[in-house]
Amino acid sequence: MTTAGLLFFDGLLLISIVSLAWAALASRDERRSVILFMAFGLVLAVAWSRLLAPDVALAEAAIGAGLTGALLLAAAHKRPARVAAGEAHNIVDHGRTGMDALLRWSVTLLCAALAGALAWALLHAFGNPPQDTLPRAIAANIEASGVSNPVTAVLLNFRAYDTLLELAVLLTAVLGIFALGQTTPGYRPAGPVFAGLTRWLVPVLILVAGYLLWVGAHAPGGAFQAGATLAAAGVVLRLAGRQHVGLPEGDLLKVVMAAGVAVFLLVGLALLVMGRPFLGYPPAWAGVLILVIETAAMLAIAATLVVAFIGGQPKPAGGLADSRTNVKQKPGKAAQC
């Protein structure tokens, strides 16, 4: 009875994932596809938690559905001209259409090839008895890792190299965003209801981020989920029309953005000096070191994601008055709708 019910639920989940993905791809209105993509991410998060992977589910909901959706919506907002015309395809010249079709087909082919390879790998995996050498190895060494959540143990201790490089990728990305120049003034000030919501939502988001960071040591959570939640506070502030989205100013911002990689490297090098392997924490110190690294990583991830959302370097402090006048100067139809 219960198994049949769960099977039914899983079937529904699968059908919704595939149909939401299809609807998001097939929609010609960019905003509609982004919103469908966010719904797709949320359903995917439910699927991850059904697969007993709550860490991935949290990351998918916070980063995949929430922040990526916000980024895509902001990108779609910036070029409304193409969105408005559903018939844009008929207007553009043939060379462009040809390129579009070529791009679309090559992406489709690549995706099909990837799906085929994954299906082949899965089929292969199902043919063999399940190998639990990795979970057993983690369980055998979890005491030495300093945390009791196996996912955090892998991310911050056993495979800390990978996480360090991921943070380096984020740092590189934010350098690219900084190269885009200064950010646009942003949205007009929020109405009373959204302003009121912002006033209590932002502190709650900050609190939740701290909780996720702390709880990551022994339950699902950690720096990436916490950073995404903290960044969501910045996104809310930006949407509410605040010029300051909670980012520190000037050089301090650069320090915060580099903090993840810097603290990671400092810890690793200090351990090298002390005669241990690079990032090979002594078991007695592992818990504290992981918390320090994760705190720095959370701040860096949050700052990076907020900078990505505002789409450029934040304006210096003096720019507040400028931006106000900028907003006032063009209250045209773009500001209205």
Partner 1 sequence: MINLLSSILIVAGLFFYLAGSIGLLRLPDIYSRLHALTKADNLGLGLLIFGIAIHAQDLLTALKLLLIWLALLAASAASAQMIARHALRCETRP
DSSP sequence for 180-215: T-BPP--PPPPPHHHHHHHHHHHHHHHHHHHHHHHH
Q: Is 194 one of the binding residues for partner 1 (CB under 8 A)?
A: yes
CA-closest candidate to residue 279, choices 287, 291, 271: 271
Buried b (16+ CB within 10 A) or exposed e, 174-208: beebbeeeebebbeeebeeeeeeebeebbeebbeb
Using the rule CB under 8 A, which residue among 80, 86, 191, 283 binds partner 1? Answer: 191
Token pair listed for 172? 């590189």
Interacting stretch for partner 1, rule CB under 8 A, among 1-9, 58-66, 191-199, 294-302? Answer: 191-199
Give the interface size with partner 1 as a residue count (CB under 8 A). 10
Q: Is 282 one of the binding residues for partner 1 (CB under 8 A)?
A: no
DSSP 8-state class, residue 315: P
Instruction: Output the smallest distance, CB 337 to partner 1, in A.
Output: 4
Instruction: Output the smallest distance, CB 187 to partner 1, in A.
Output: 12
Instruction: Output the smallest distance, CB 80 to partner 1, in A.
Output: 12
Q: Is 335 one of the binding residues for partner 1 (CB under 8 A)?
A: no
Interacting stretch for partner 1, rule CB under 8 A, among 123-131, 186-194, 245-253, 315-323? Answer: 186-194
Q: Is 193 one of the binding residues for partner 1 (CB under 8 A)?
A: yes
Instruction: Output the smallest distance, CB 196 to partner 1, in A.
Output: 8
Helix axes 283-310 and 68-78, enclosed angle (nearest 10): 20
- Looking at the DSSP bridge assignments, the partners of residue 313 are 182
Q: Is 336 one of the binding residues for partner 1 (CB under 8 A)?
A: yes
Instruction: Output the smallest distance, CB 78 to partner 1, in A.
Output: 18
Helix axes 251-273 and 160-178, enclosed angle (nearest 10): 160
Q: Distance of CA 61 to CAs 55, 67, 151, Å? A: 10, 9, 17
Interacting stretch for partner 1, rule CB under 8 A, among 110-118, 198-206, 309-317, 319-327? Answer: 198-206
Q: Is 331 one of the binding residues for partner 1 (CB under 8 A)?
A: no
- Looking at the DSSP bridge assignments, the partners of residue 308 are none
Q: Is 313 helix (H, G, I), strand (E, B) or coil?
A: strand
Instruction: Output the smallest distance, CB 200 to partner 1, in A.
Output: 8
């008929």: which residue's tokens? 90
Q: Is 337 one of the binding residues for partner 1 (CB under 8 A)?
A: yes
Instruction: Output the smallest distance, CB 51 to partner 1, in A.
Output: 22
Q: Is 197 one of the binding residues for partner 1 (CB under 8 A)?
A: yes
Q: Interface residues with partner 1 (CB under 8 A)?
A: 191, 193-194, 196-197, 200-201, 204, 336-337
